[in-house]
Amino acid sequence: MDIPHPIPEPLVGLIAQRFRVIGDPMRIRLLDTLRNHPATVGELVDAVGGSQQNVSKHLGVLHQAGIVSRTKEGTAVRYAIADASVFALCELVCGGIRQQAKDLDAILQATGTGR
Protein backbone atom coordinates (compact mmCIF):
# COMPACT_ATOMS: atom_id res chain seq x y z
CA MET A 1 0.00 0.00 0.00
CA ASP A 2 1.40 3.36 -1.01
CA ILE A 3 0.90 6.06 1.61
CA PRO A 4 0.31 9.53 0.18
CA HIS A 5 2.64 12.32 1.28
CA PRO A 6 1.86 14.31 3.21
CA ILE A 7 -0.05 11.70 5.17
CA PRO A 8 -3.72 12.74 5.45
CA GLU A 9 -4.59 13.89 8.97
CA PRO A 10 -7.19 11.15 9.67
CA LEU A 11 -4.58 8.54 8.75
CA VAL A 12 -2.00 10.21 11.01
CA GLY A 13 -4.39 9.70 13.93
CA LEU A 14 -4.94 6.04 13.07
CA ILE A 15 -1.21 5.41 12.74
CA ALA A 16 -0.54 7.11 16.08
CA GLN A 17 -3.27 5.03 17.74
CA ARG A 18 -1.75 1.79 16.41
CA PHE A 19 1.68 2.77 17.77
CA ARG A 20 0.13 3.58 21.17
CA VAL A 21 -1.58 0.19 21.26
CA ILE A 22 1.52 -1.86 20.45
CA GLY A 23 3.98 0.44 22.22
CA ASP A 24 3.50 -1.05 25.68
CA PRO A 25 6.11 -3.58 26.93
CA MET A 26 3.47 -5.97 28.32
CA ARG A 27 1.54 -5.91 25.04
CA ILE A 28 4.73 -6.62 23.10
CA ARG A 29 5.38 -9.64 25.37
CA LEU A 30 1.79 -10.84 24.89
CA LEU A 31 2.00 -10.50 21.11
CA ASP A 32 5.33 -12.31 21.07
CA THR A 33 3.83 -15.18 23.06
CA LEU A 34 0.70 -15.33 20.90
CA ARG A 35 2.85 -15.34 17.77
CA ASN A 36 3.61 -19.02 18.37
CA HIS A 37 0.13 -20.23 19.31
CA PRO A 38 -3.24 -19.09 20.69
CA ALA A 39 -3.49 -19.03 24.49
CA THR A 40 -5.88 -18.40 27.34
CA VAL A 41 -5.45 -15.57 29.84
CA GLY A 42 -4.14 -18.05 32.42
CA GLU A 43 -1.58 -19.44 29.98
CA LEU A 44 -0.49 -15.92 29.09
CA VAL A 45 -0.15 -14.95 32.77
CA ASP A 46 2.14 -17.96 33.25
CA ALA A 47 4.15 -17.10 30.12
CA VAL A 48 4.65 -13.35 30.60
CA GLY A 49 4.07 -12.75 34.30
CA GLY A 50 1.85 -10.05 35.68
CA SER A 51 -1.55 -10.41 37.24
CA GLN A 52 -4.58 -11.91 35.52
CA GLN A 53 -6.31 -8.52 35.76
CA ASN A 54 -3.38 -6.70 34.11
CA VAL A 55 -2.99 -9.27 31.32
CA SER A 56 -6.75 -9.18 30.67
CA LYS A 57 -6.69 -5.39 30.46
CA HIS A 58 -3.90 -5.42 27.89
CA LEU A 59 -5.59 -8.17 25.88
CA GLY A 60 -8.75 -6.04 25.85
CA VAL A 61 -6.82 -3.13 24.34
CA LEU A 62 -5.27 -5.40 21.70
CA HIS A 63 -8.67 -6.93 20.92
CA GLN A 64 -10.37 -3.53 20.65
CA ALA A 65 -7.68 -2.51 18.13
CA GLY A 66 -8.30 -5.65 16.08
CA ILE A 67 -4.81 -7.03 16.66
CA VAL A 68 -5.95 -10.13 18.56
CA SER A 69 -9.11 -12.18 18.33
CA ARG A 70 -10.79 -14.10 21.10
CA THR A 71 -12.79 -17.30 21.10
CA LYS A 72 -14.84 -18.55 24.03
CA GLU A 73 -14.01 -22.12 25.05
CA GLY A 74 -16.29 -23.14 27.89
CA THR A 75 -15.39 -20.83 30.77
CA ALA A 76 -12.08 -19.78 29.21
CA VAL A 77 -11.31 -17.34 26.41
CA ARG A 78 -8.55 -18.20 23.93
CA TYR A 79 -6.69 -15.30 22.30
CA ALA A 80 -4.97 -15.46 18.91
CA ILE A 81 -3.27 -13.05 16.53
CA ALA A 82 -5.82 -11.42 14.21
CA ASP A 83 -3.49 -8.95 12.47
CA ALA A 84 -0.03 -10.38 11.87
CA SER A 85 1.16 -7.12 10.29
CA VAL A 86 2.35 -6.06 13.76
CA PHE A 87 5.20 -8.56 13.42
CA ALA A 88 6.45 -6.91 10.23
CA LEU A 89 6.61 -3.64 12.16
CA CYS A 90 8.46 -5.34 15.02
CA GLU A 91 10.98 -6.78 12.55
CA LEU A 92 11.59 -3.30 11.08
CA VAL A 93 12.09 -1.81 14.54
CA CYS A 94 14.41 -4.64 15.61
CA GLY A 95 16.43 -4.19 12.42
CA GLY A 96 16.79 -0.49 13.16
CA ILE A 97 17.89 -1.20 16.73
CA ARG A 98 20.48 -3.73 15.52
CA GLN A 99 21.85 -1.19 13.04
CA GLN A 100 22.03 1.52 15.74
CA ALA A 101 23.93 -0.88 17.99
CA LYS A 102 26.41 -1.66 15.19
CA ASP A 103 26.87 2.03 14.43
CA LEU A 104 27.42 2.86 18.10
CA ASP A 105 29.89 0.01 18.48
CA ALA A 106 31.81 1.22 15.41
CA ILE A 107 31.97 4.75 16.83
CA LEU A 108 33.18 3.47 20.20
CA GLN A 109 35.82 1.30 18.53
CA ALA A 110 37.00 4.20 16.34
CA THR A 111 37.34 6.53 19.31
CA GLY A 112 39.11 3.97 21.46
CA THR A 113 36.31 3.91 24.04
CA GLY A 114 34.89 0.59 22.89
CA ARG A 115 34.88 -2.63 24.79
Burial class (CB within 10 angstroms; exposed 0-12, middle 13-18, buried 19+) of 34: buried
Could you tell me which residues are beta bridge partners of residue 69? 80
In this prediction the pTM is 0.82
**114 pLDDT tier (thresholds 50, 70, 90):** low
Flag whether pLDDT at 48 surpasses 80.
yes
Flag whether pLDDT at 46 surpasses 90.
yes
- List pLDDT tens digits, range 54-84: 999 999 999 999 999 999 999 999 999 999 9
Flag whether pLDDT at 47 surpasses 60.
yes
Sheet holding 68-73, edge to edge: 39-40, 76-81, 68-73
- List pLDDT tens digits, range 4-31: 899 999 999 999 999 999 999 999 999 9
* Packing angle, helices 52-64 and 25-36, rounded to 10: 80
Compute the distance between CA of residue 74 and CA of residue 79 in angstroms, rounded to an integer.
Answer: 14
